[in-house]
Amino acid sequence: MSAVNLYKQRPDNLEGQSPLHHAGLAELAGKSVANAGIRLREKKLLGHLLLRGDARDPAFAGGVHKALGVELPVALTLVANGELSLQWLAPDEWLLVVPRGEEFATERRLRETLGGELHYAVVNVSGGQTLLELSGAKVRELLMKSTSYDVHPSNFPVGKAVGTHFAKSQLVIRHTAEDSWELVVRRSFADYIWAWLQDAGAEYGLAIEA
């Protein structure tokens, strides 16, 4: 793939706005919530890339590992290398999340490593979605009344990730640690999901973190 196909969507001198920039999360983070069972943090402005290719092709799988330092995850799972994570979305599609500002360099590294002979695609979708982190002892209870997907520990262990219905919407749920989960939310659904989480989390005590 020629470098001419690359486009830096977020120049270094341009400050982006997250889908929830108007919600005032930074101001809410300063308010104390007694006995909060859920803590919410927007991991805003991270790099989100969609990667497509043939997982059965050793050249593609090996190229991804060389460029990212992780193996392609199997169905309904995600893998991580520091702040970088790669999540299975479909047999030939993965979501790659990288630290803020690293999406352009990561895409370029993938294209250089995979070369021009393989059939693959890398698409930067950073502006189209955001990631919400939910942590605390009551997160699973919130999820249970928000989605019909079974989030019982026996069915949804740490390391699992699924795209599913959520409060009459759709998003991706990722179980990243024992009491920590992430929601990958489309920009167009962000307001609705934020309103839902405030209402659904009220009974457990919802604290916002910066």
In this prediction the pTM is 0.93
Give the confidence band of 4 by pLDDT, cuts at 50, 70, 90: very low
C-alpha distances in angstroms, 189 versus 15, 100, 172, 192, 193? 22, 21, 12, 5, 6
Tens digit of pLDDT for each residue in 120-160? 999 999 999 999 999 999 999 999 999 999 999 999 999 99
Neighbours of 138 (CB within 10 A): 20
* Exposure on the CB side of residue 25, measured as CA atoms within 13 A: 22
pLDDT at 11 over 70: no
- The domain defined by 35-208 folds into Gyrase A; domain 2 (3.30.1360)
- Tokens 């500002």 belong to 101
Residue-range domain boundaries for the chain: 35-208
70 vs 126: CA distance, rounded Å:
21
pLDDT at 3 over 90: no
Sign of the dihedral through C-alpha 170, 175, 178, 181: negative
